Amino acid sequence: MTANAQTPSQAHASITSPWVQVCKVNDLVPGSGVAALVLGQQIALFYLPDEQGLSASKRVYALANQDPASGANVMARGILGDIRGEAVVAAPLYKHHFSLETGRCLEDDHWQVTVWPARIVDGKVEIEWV
């Protein structure tokens, strides 16, 4: 397949799942989080650049910025780490841990925050708007 040959199914995919450009990689803080505003939605972006063997899409994570425990938009200001190998952010007010991959809360099954697929393309951070 050549670079500009677009099959109908690819065209379809790009319509239903657009990738939205959010910010530059330089706006991210290695090993930590920042918040961004996308279409009125507050999103926490986390950046783990030093992990070896991970593809670019695995190094940046996008979660809802609202912490379900406090209702405050503070998720981006939590500490990153891992619990039994699962990459997590600890929400800064009440310290619940949320999986960066799935948004699952490790302490309380009731709480699940939205996650968006995220990637870095040409120095730009993009999330898939689903």
Contacting residues toward another protein, per CB under 8 A:
22-23, 27-32, 34-38, 42, 45, 48, 50-51, 66, 70-74, 77-85, 87-88, 90, 92-93, 95, 97, 110
Query: How long, in residues, is the chain?
Result: 130
Max CA separation in the chain (angstroms):
52
Q: Cα(30)–Cα(127) distance, rounded to whole angstroms?
A: 18
Q: Least distance (Å) from another protein to the CB of residue 79?
A: 4
Task: Give whichever of 97 and 118 is closer to another protein, judged by the CB atom.
Answer: 97
> Residues 62, 75: contact at Cβ < 8 Å?
no
Q: In 3D, which of 30, 34, 14 has the Cα closest to residue 22?
A: 34
Task: Give whichever of 12 and 95 is closer to another protein, judged by the CB atom.
Answer: 95
Q: Least distance (Å) from another protein to the CB of residue 117?
A: 18
Task: Give whichever of 1 and 122 is closer to another protein, judged by the CB atom.
Answer: 122
